[in-house]
Amino acid sequence: GAVVSQHPSRVICKSGTSVKIECRSLDFQATTMFWYRQFPKQSLMLMATSNEGSKATYEQGVEKDKFLINHASLTLSTLTVTSAHPEDSSFYICSARDPASGGADTQYFGPGTRLTVL
């Protein structure tokens, strides 16, 4: 149980275009999902918390107009990188909590999406 998927796993786009990344909880409902960014050989940086049916909560320094988050259902959150630039190239990982299987504070992670902006 507690499986989180992401799509796509890898995307290459041109500078100035927008890219949408999907995060799904496959076997549980997630009222809250999290989006992280990971630079090479570094730890994960929390970008924002995605709340089903309401606005996302962004961490300090993260541009909400650039990283649009939508959590339209209990199993899907999307992250859209708008007007992407090469500096947005990174590994984006989502996670969700499943209180039923791991306790209220255990996060389950998706496999990540490698974004490369040319």
| Closest approach of another protein to the CB of residue 15, in Å | 24
Is 52 exposed, middle or buried (CB count within 10 Å of its CB: 0-12, 13-18, 19+)?
Answer: middle
| Closest approach of another protein to the CB of residue 33, in Å | 11
Binds another protein (CB under 8 A): choice among 19, 34, 69, 79: 34
Is residue 44 at the binding interface for another protein, with CB under 8 A as the rule? yes
**Token pair for residue 66?**
């650039």
Q: In what order do the strands lie in the sheet with 4-7?
A: 4-7, 19-25, 76-81, 67-73
CA dist., res. 64 & res. 67, Å (int): 5
Binds another protein (CB under 8 A): choice among 49, 70, 80, 116: 49
Give the footprint of another protein on residues 50-109 (CB under 8 A). 57, 93, 95, 102-103, 105-109
| Closest approach of another protein to the CB of residue 5, in Å | 10
